[in-house]
Amino acid sequence: MASGVKPRVKVPKTAAVGEAVTIKTLISHPMESGQRKDKDGNTIPRSIINRFTCDFNGENVLDVKMEPAISTNPFFEFEATVPEAGEFKFTWYDDDGSVYEETKTITIG
Amino acid sequence: MRRITSALMATLITTTGAFAEPVDDTLILNEETEMVMRTAAPEHLSEVMDEVMSGWLFRGTETRAMQSDDFDNPGMIFVEQAQEVWNVADGTEGKSCASCHNDMDSMAGVKATYPKWNEAAGEVRTLQMQVNDCRTERMGAEAWKYDSGVAINMEAALASVSRGMPVNVAIDGPAQSAWELGKELYYTRTGQLELSCANCHEDNYGMMIRADHLSQGQINGFPVYRLKNTKLNGSHSRFKGCIRDTRAETYSAGSPEFVALELYVASRGNGLSVEGPSIRN
């Protein structure tokens, strides 16, 4: 069970119709690779965020599969075209079964 | 003949020296705060250099960009953690930092003046020492280990509310003797490699040290988030690393020697903006 996990998202509050906005996301997570050993030589079990998705009004925008080589506190920056006002939903899936969610609304202005 | 020699010399210098000059760039934090990344050297350095420069100018484009926005700056994750600790009561008195100091924004400007003489204690104190004084004397809590995760995060959080303000540590008055000790340490060669701080950071900044750029060794950006260990690092830990690299036995973090060295090195950056938590390699 990873501790201190906290998702963060930065999305502009407004956009023009059809505008591509820059979205930044970060989740604080140790991303333990499963390759390391502790002081006694025992393998530290893998514990990573293995998938990240972004949906807009129910439609999938981004779906990322993540592997153990990804460093701690994974950060994603991407552009998304905003066709209408609505809600971005971000979801992170942890190896331990936890699911972290964050939503941001965006208006047309 | 003389002319040929000097021409030859010039060629030698340009071809053998590996230059890594600081970039011509300015950091604008969160698109609003313009930071002072280079400025005239403080008075006490007038004989050795004209201009002091933040280590930020010696880093790559991507590393510099990471520091320009708080969302992109991984050091801010640790600042957030410390801001939570700020509000949590600890120790026998049932007080948190916020019980006395209210909002952390009230500490703006504090980091810029540390290390600083403490009259009651009769010693020069770093910010971490002062935090620990609050913890043991006012909160009835245990002192944090020097440069430990929780302590360095708090130092970074306190630095973050002072960002953009000029470093302004006092070097005269009662702090002078510690400052003199720090200066002596700065110019003392240590280890099997017999290197002083000045050999790299005063004589050779802008050159390469193996594969890395040598900066002026300014500490206005401390605590720094290092990409190599993905956490915040204190200036004393950095001093330790440098002295170890000269193959010497080092002083420990929080020792009087390092407190004095921190005061001296901070004073070399008087006038530069407080940057912590900054991003470095």
Residue B234: predicted pLDDT: 96
Q: Which residue of A has its CA nearest to B74?
A: A73
Indicate the pTM of the whole model: 0.86
Best residue of A11, A33, A70, A72 to probe chain B, by most B CBs closer than 10 Å = A72
Q: Tens of pLDDT along A50-109? A: 999 999 999 999 999 999 999 888 999 999 999 999 999 999 999 999 999 999 999 998
Token pair, residue B67, equals 């520091």
Residue B18: predicted pLDDT: 60
Residue B1: predicted pLDDT: 44
- What is the average per-residue pLDDT within B158-164? 96
Of residues A6, A24, A72, nearest to B71 (C-beta): A24
Q: Tens of pLDDT along B74-117? A: 999 999 999 999 999 999 999 999 999 999 999 999 999 999 99
Q: Is the pLDDT of residue A4 over 90?
A: no
Three-class SS state of A22: strand
**B154 C-beta neighbours (distance < 10 Å), count:** 26
Query: What's the mean per-residue pLDDT of chain B?
Result: 91
Residue B20: predicted pLDDT: 73
With beta carbons less than 8 A apart as the criterion, state whether A80 and A25 touch. no
Q: Tens of pLDDT along A15-54? A: 999 999 999 999 999 999 999 999 999 999 999 999 999 9
- According to DSSP, residue B173 is labeled G
Helix axes B149-160, B75-86, angle to 10 degrees: 100
Distance of CA B142 to the CA centre of its chain: 26
Give the up-direction half-sphere exposure of residue B64: CA atoms within 13 A in the CB hemisphere.
17
Q: What b/e sequence results for B173-212 when a residue is b if at least 16 CB atoms lie within 10 Å of its CB, and e otherwise?
A: eebeebbebbbebbeeebbeeebbbbebbbeebbeeeeee
- The verdict on a CB contact (< 8 Å) between A26 and B77 is yes
Q: Tens of pLDDT along B229-249? A: 889 999 999 999 999 999 999
Q: Which of these is catalytic: B97, B197, B200, B242?
A: B242
With beta carbons less than 8 A apart as the criterion, state whether A46 and A32 touch. yes
Whole-angstrom distance, CA of residue B104 vs CA of residue B53: 28
Residue B230: predicted pLDDT: 87
Confidence category of residue B10, pLDDT binned at 50, 70, 90: very low
Chain B residues with CB under 8 Å of A76 CB are: none
Which residues are A88's β-sheet partners? A56, A104
Q: How many CB pairs under 8 A join A and B?
A: 18
- The verdict on a CB contact (< 8 Å) between A26 and B81 is no
Residue A105, φ and ψ in degrees, nearest 5: -95, 150
Best residue of B67, B69, B77 to probe chain A, by most A CBs closer than 10 Å = B77
Residue A1: predicted pLDDT: 57
**Residue for token digits 């340490």?**
B185
**B40 C-beta neighbours (distance < 10 Å), count:** 12
The residues near B141 (Cβ < 8 Å, ≥ 6 apart) are B90, B91, B92, B93, B135
Q: Tens of pLDDT along B28-43? A: 988 888 999 999 999 9
Whole-angstrom distance, CA of residue B206 vs CA of residue B196: 17
Token pair, residue B25, equals 């760039």
Q: Is the pLDDT of residue B200 over 60?
A: yes
Residue A72: predicted pLDDT: 87
Chain B residues with CB under 8 Å of A8 CB are: 71
Best residue of A5, A9, A10 to probe chain B, by most B CBs closer than 10 Å = A10
Chain B residues with CB under 8 Å of A75 CB are: 72, 74
Whole-angstrom distance, CA of residue B258 vs CA of residue A11: 43
* 3-state DSSP of B50-87: CEEECHHHHCCHHHHHHCCCCCCCCHHHHHHHHHHHHC
- The verdict on a CB contact (< 8 Å) between B71 and A71 is no
Scanning chain B, the segments in alpha helix (DSSP H) are 2-16, 61-66, 75-86, 97-101, 127-133, 149-160, 176-186, 197-201, 235-245, 256-268
Q: What b/e sequence results for A51-81 when a residue is b if at least 16 CB atoms lie within 10 Å of its CB, and e otherwise?
A: ebebbbeeeebeeeebeeebebbbebeeebe
